[in-house]
Amino acid sequence: MGNDVETLTLPSSGTLQIDVHLTAQVNISAMVARRKVNSFLALHVGNLLLAGEPTMTLANRIVWRVPVDVTTPGYGRRGQVGQVDVDIENGQLLIDEASVTLIRQNAQHLVASPAS
């Protein structure tokens, strides 16, 4: 997404002031965002992936950031393998093919490792 707040390089000392003003209409709830991601994952990525608990995040716009976990029979949730951002105003999933590929690769790697 570019210029995410969490990727800022912050000074190790001194004064830091960040002023941000964004306005957005929250038309998509966290529950709806999670459902949209679960549906997308099942249809386009893999059936052993589940959306986690969304958090509202400031990126280029305000989004629900939804973690993606891989599950396996007998073990349940194995761990997070990616994330999908959902626009809070229009519900658009902000994910590209490169991110889908990365989620698949991370899931395959995690499933191949011994369960802890």
User: What's the predicted TM-score (pTM) here?
Assistant: 0.81
Q: What is the pLDDT of residues 35-77, one digit of tens each?
A: 999 999 999 998 899 999 999 998 788 999 999 999 988 888 8
Instruction: Report the greatest alpha carbon distance in the chain.
Output: 51
Pick the more confident residue, 58 or 30: 30
Instruction: Please count the helices (runs of H) and the strands (runs of E) in the chain.
Output: 2, 5
CA distances from residue 56 to 29, 33, 64, 109, 111 in whole angstroms, order as listed: 10, 11, 5, 28, 28
